[in-house]
Amino acid sequence: MLRCDDLIVKRGDFRLGPLRVRAAAGAVTAVIGPNASGKTTLLETVAGVSPPSAGVVELDDVDLHSQTPQARAAPRYPRPRRW
């Protein structure tokens, strides 16, 4: 489960949040909104490209921003077998 709680991201005069987001493993989740509403900012923060100004981003109860980029990139689930 991906979980964002009280997530705030500030870039210059732009402020995103506070947000509360949940995305279940295996679920298809869409981020939609008008231009300049913060979609890319949210995804960059969830991916660890940009740090949050406040709040937490967790994947399976692990704070992603407390990890190195290498640890975030490591596979968490076994890859499916290809026959």
Parallel/antiparallel/unpaired status of strands 14-23 and 62-63: unpaired
Domain boundaries, the chain: 2-73
Write out pLDDT tens, residues 30-59.
Answer: 999 999 999 999 999 998 888 999 999 998
Identity at 64, one-letter amino acid code = L
Report, as an integer, the average pLDDT of 76-82. Answer: 67
pTM, rounded to two decimals:
0.78
Q: Dihedral sign, CA of 65, 69, 74, 80?
A: positive
